[in-house]
Chain A
């Protein structure tokens, strides 16, 4: 047989045989059969010496072309085998529409979301977050806040007390023999902070507070407040209004307005109630919603913590977190916050 016929037959056979290989060893064996030392193609190459001299250039070209084609067949088969090996490792393709069997995502409680958002907004204007005990004493909860001894707020009708024999080692008293109680507002944190060091002070104190009250859609035996206190030289009513305008615009968006109504609190003078106008919120059907109380710190409070009221001035603001959350999210029963129904919690995934 002529050499070029041999080559052509060989290539056809090799193509068929390589196509049938499924694994690397099969491919290696096949490769050895053609281009190994005893391979068929190697044998043909060896015949080149016996080819007539004038035919050699043409034959050489033919042999080289055949060799390249054979190599291409081997390469392509190797790639195919590698691909099939990879897909064997992957297994069958996934169904991307199936849900993940893993739980989640985790969620923050809506009260935490609101609290953290307020803290974040206030931190930007220099407030740091303060904290204090929930069990308090009469001094921190009432006396230091200019609440007279016979004021109804401190009556056992409205405030939870502990028996006179109960005390808490890590809740410090100001005077020996003070009675322990559950704080009725987070203002006690302001007192503790002021007693800890000199002004200036700029704190926000969120936390749990307690009132002896009937539980219903808008009242709970414990609820949460968030309060700000700023003490410095020359703090004014206008500064206070500026803070609240900033806070509520940051919280509720442009177009949110606040207004002050004169009111009375023992620990501020003058005192105001703060109303919020945010018609763009869901379920807000009144022009103004009462949201909190504020005022200029009463000089008596400064005297109680040893600050000179002729030098230092300050403002304080406080509001209920539940009420704010109810307004923001359109929740109309406070008890929902304390039931922890996952259908409520899951609504706040990743939430603001």
Chain B
């Protein structure tokens, strides 16, 4: 909101400089977004002069050599001038040597094309007070010669553009802000003098207007109307126009301007009707009919809904209540009688109307934030004073009033001890009390208690935001000054608490991946719909959709971090930055069998390294992805090695069939996918080369189970016995399945006698020496006893049993 300093000075005698006032506004709690100064800056050595003579410059067609009288002290000077718009005898601003004009333009004595010039005759722009009007600024009214130019030019104004927080609707007005500044500068506040006090001009008594009727008191708790007759519509006076313009309003006419002026002064919106245009002489506050139309003052026809509140006459809607008047009932040059509305509308109702019509105004802005009903009549009377002052006329009927019958009274009890306890430092009691009273928070009653003075503070009606002791602590601190909060050291008691398990998982997974040369990325959570269906089912995509996306391509929650990581690969590829392994940790969202879940996830991608290196390394493959994924799962205390791993199958998958796998299921707590990203998907995205990826997701609540403390397991110090076995199996058989079979057979064969410590794959072979369609998988078996050294004999017996068992029960052939 824009606040004029000249205007503020009507209510409080501020003599501080602008920077000091700006600072005060800021520390009272209102952010100053902009400060604009109008009018002339302070100009030294710029005085009034009169052009005595004007001769053509001997060496320049467009220049003149003037003789200028600057009064008894300065005498007559010779000045070269390029302007054409003046005549001999005109009085103009003269910048003398030593003057500094805006833009750091320094005036000194100089020769211009051979002629001496002892200063400069100035235009409005050169003085910093406006645009050039075709040459020199001609001073009206023949000001005294030699007078400093600042004494002659109209004084400037300073306009502050201030952000008013939603709790302070009272400060959407000059009086509201003046009250704050008066408190801030410890000055008195003078309210405008009230002339009209409700008396009716008996001579001009009129029955032009009968009554107001409020059908919706829940949305219009107060409606008042004053009737004035004999007004003469015309331009408002210059001082009023100037102030309205200064704060960004366009002057219309004396009636409308008076209403706007009072709105900016008191924060109370007002509306004036032409009384003759009110059919039936009654105003009704009612809901619009569904589809009812009105053309608002901005010239647009608006279709209203049954929820819109309107002010209507017997025939039609005249005003969208609290938002904007209609063209059909406004003031025009022929208006002589007016009905002045001063009303209170419920904030939510005005907000809804304003939003639904896409129409906001200075009035709706104030109503949305809340207008004080208890000063409404005062504001109406102020407007009547201004109308009578500027447009004549008189009040010809008693006020029509509906609602507003609940009187205001609020008191809050506060002790100085409470203030100290909340602030953590001391402010002397008299200062606390003075701070409250400076804001018109008057202490109605005071007693001394063990907790210091106890004050009963009356809260004025415009401070609906204050109703608890803590609210008054803030007021005292504001006036005391938040910059005066004393410094201190942090004191900290020890609490038995740990970082959230999700945080710990993120940190561990990231540390592993960064340590393995991955770069951490951050991508947006919201993704386009079409992309989701590549990764998840239609059903899942529908469940992850927002009700109100802001832009089309950010309409759905991400079901995987890989989407964003592929974007990052593509961006770097398109910018010619060589690919590098990337990862992200963050939240993802999944739909699973009709349940939506939020998961903590970590994912990585390894693009093909297209850069040329002087020495080539072994490229990453599926098992690289599996290796890293196992480490990420371990960060969540999940052992990927002990979970069944199944290949990802099915067409239309984001993973490449035959080259990717998964483990776990989200409804059991966690899920993992890893391997090659679908080549067709990569091609459709425009990514060159293969991309290996891995993603691990766990439900946060699953991580929340406190991990049991690790326990040491004793191990044998006796030597191990090793045996190797190779099995010929179908090419399509999975090593994991074969291994389980071997491990099972080995455990069965060893029985109770000793342990089969490990069964590990050490070779996979197909080709020469093996039948078509077969491969050989070789395992090394490790046997060990906790209590003795195993003999070859006993191991051989067990090993033979394993071979027999495998040969007998499985489809595998032991390779000799």
Contacts and interface: CB of A to CB of B under 8 A. Distances in A.
B492 A125 contact: yes
Contacts of B495: 126, 128, 200-202
A345 B520 contact: yes
A150 B596 contact: no
A170 interface: yes
Contact of A125 (B486, B490, B525, B545): B490
B550 interface: yes
Given A106-B516, A212-B548, A270-B474, A202 B492 contact: yes
B637 to A, nearest CB: 17
Given A128-B498, A130-B500, A160-B549, A261 B29 contact: yes
Contacts of B348: 150
B613 interface: yes
B525 A269 contact: no
B687 to A, nearest CB: 14
A313 interface: yes
Contacts of B609: 103
B468 interface: yes
B533 interface: no
B624 interface: no
Interface in B443-457: none
A160 B525 CA distance: 12
A268 B424 CA distance: 16
Interface in A299-352: 299, 313, 337-343, 345-346
Contact of B482 (A170, A242, A259): A259
Interface in B485-511: 485-495, 497-500, 502-503, 507, 510
Interface stretch (A20-28, A33-41, A231-239): A231-239
A261 B27 contact: yes
Interface string A128-157: 111101110000000000000011100111
B734 to A, nearest CB: 31
Interface band, chain A: 35 or more
Nearest to B525: A222
Contacts of B549: 160
Given A163-B545, A221-B550, A232-B493, A102 B596 contact: no
A134 B598 contact: yes
Nearest to B486: A238
Contacts of A273: 31
B514 A269 contact: no
A29 interface: no
A210 interface: yes
Interface in B514-548: 514-526, 543, 545-548
Contacts, number: 248
B42 to A, nearest CB: 24
A135 B615 CA distance: 48
Given A129-B499, A163-B547, A238-B488, A109 B520 contact: yes
Contacts of A131: 500, 502-503, 700
B519 A342 contact: yes
B406 to A, nearest CB: 20
A208 interface: yes
A171 interface: yes
B468 A296 contact: no
Nearest to B479: A262
Contacts of B799: none
A339 to B, nearest CB: 6
Contacts of B494: 126
Contacts of A256: none
Query: Which of A160, A164, A259, A272 neighbours the largest number of chain B CB atoms within 10 Å of its CB?
Result: A160
A171 B598 contact: yes
Nearest to A239: B424
5 contacts: A108-B514, A298-B470, A299-B470, A338-B524, A341-B575
Interface of B: 26-29, 31, 165-168, 347-348, 351, 355, 421-425, 468, 470-471, 473-474, 477-478, 482-483, 485-495, 497-500, 502-503, 507, 510, 513-526, 543, 545-551, 554, 557, 568, 571-572, 575, 577-578, 580-582, 586-587, 589, 595-598, 609, 613-617, 699-701
The 6 closest A-B pairs by CB, nearest first: A236-B424, A238-B424, A262-B29, A270-B474, A104-B517, A264-B165
